[in-house]
């Protein structure tokens, strides 16, 4: 910066500081006229002629209705049946590779169902269009919504089916015929 500009800035800041310090001292209010006489109100003496009696009736309060709360009984969900997996049987042979004779079997609960989720949309109309298209092609499909406000999502699902294998077969059929990749998931 130039020397002259620096001097101007320093001078201006000194003037601002002095103004902040001394202006309140100059304007302390000493030049204002103060009231010399106290204010008084002349009220007449209380007498029977200028006295008014007002009788107030108590306001009737309506009784609030009693709110009876019933305890909420939460029924626990039945415990899921344990998954049974058959362990592979290895037959002892002279060969190096063991032979597996049984495949693992996973049994699903009798009430468990499966659906294929084909899409997730931010607008209900788009989800309903896909649902209607799938219904016209012979698939049981529905729209399920979740979330609130601007984060609301509409999911298009096919099913429900009673077994994962059947749902997986439908998913493969949808991928082959409709060119839509789906996701098999338990329902609800």
Q: 22: helix, coil or strand?
A: helix
**CATH number for the domain formed by residue range(s) 113-187:** 3.30.70.1070
Residue 86 pLDDT level (bands cut at 50, 70, 90): low
Q: Is residue 15 pLDDT above 90, yes or no?
A: yes
Average pLDDT for 33-55: 67
Of 85 and 177, the one with more pLDDT: 177
Residue 54 pLDDT level (bands cut at 50, 70, 90): confident
| DSSP 8-state assignment for residue 147 | S
CA distance 113 to 18: 83
Phi and psi torsions of 141, nearest 5°:
-135, 160
């Amino acid at each position: 910066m130039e020397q002259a500009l620096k001097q101007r800035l320093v001078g201006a800041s000194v003037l601002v500081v002095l103004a902040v310090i001394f202006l309140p001292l100059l304007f302390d209010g000493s030049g204002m006229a103060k009231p010399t006489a106290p204010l008084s109100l002349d009220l007449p003496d209380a007498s029977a002629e200028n006295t008014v009696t007002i009788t107030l009736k108590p306001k009737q309060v309506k009784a609030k209705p009693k709110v009876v709360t019933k305890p909420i009984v939460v029924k626990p969900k039945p415990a899921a049946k344990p998954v049974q997996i058959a362990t592979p049987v290895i037959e002892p042979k002279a060969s190096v590779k063991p032979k597996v004779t049984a495949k693992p079997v996973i049994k699903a609960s009798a009430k468990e169902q499966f659906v294929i989720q084909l899409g997730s949309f931010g607008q209900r109309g788009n989800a309903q269009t896909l649902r209607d298209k799938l219904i016209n092609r012979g698939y049981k499909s529905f729209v399920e919504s979740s979330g609130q406000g601007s984060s609301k999502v509409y999911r298009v699902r096919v099913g429900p089916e009673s077994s994962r294998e059947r749902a997986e077969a439908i998913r493969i059929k949808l991928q082959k015929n409709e060119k839509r990749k789906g996701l098999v998931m338990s329902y609800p």
